[in-house]
Each structure stands twice: as C-alpha cells, then as structure tokens.
Amino acid sequence: MTDLYSLDITGAEFSKACGGNTHPDGEACVTLAKIGPDSWPLGDSKRPTAEPLRFTTAELEAAGIAPSRFALSA
C-alpha cells in the first residue's frame, strides 16, 4: 500500500461540498481532491492552512463520503 502522506498535493484541484449544517462562523464544508488512483486528501474549508487528512477510496466509502458529491469520480 502507498503511504498516502508521501504523495504530493501541490497543485491538486480541490472541490468543495457543504453539508447544510451551520456554525456561528459559517456553513460547514469539506474539500476533496484526487491525487492518485486510490488517494484522496480531505480538508476543512474553515481551516484552509491545516494539512488535509488522506484516505483511500474504500475508506471514504466506509465513512459515507462519495467523491461524486464533489463532482469527482473514483
């Protein structure tokens, strides 16, 4: 298995999806990009400077996160 954190995300094109729930600071949204055939960094739009967490496609699916919601295909 590839070490997901060794993959370069420089230049990755992130898409944003919002869940509809709100927070005093604004709507809660996450960002997702595809950086390999089975590699996805997932970020928090409220913390844009925080390092995104990285997941495999199976891990995203297990968490109920569909790349199609971000207009991305697995």
Per residue in 23-72, pLDDT tens?
666 777 899 999 998 999 999 988 889 999 999 999 999 999 889 888 88
Burial class of residue 6, CB neighbours in 10 A (0-12, 13-18, 19+): exposed
In this prediction, residue 9 carries a pLDDT of: 94
**DSSP assignment, residue 36?**
B
In this prediction, residue 23 carries a pLDDT of: 66
Q: How far, CA to CA in Å, does 45 sit from each of 1, 19, 58, 62?
A: 28, 12, 23, 22
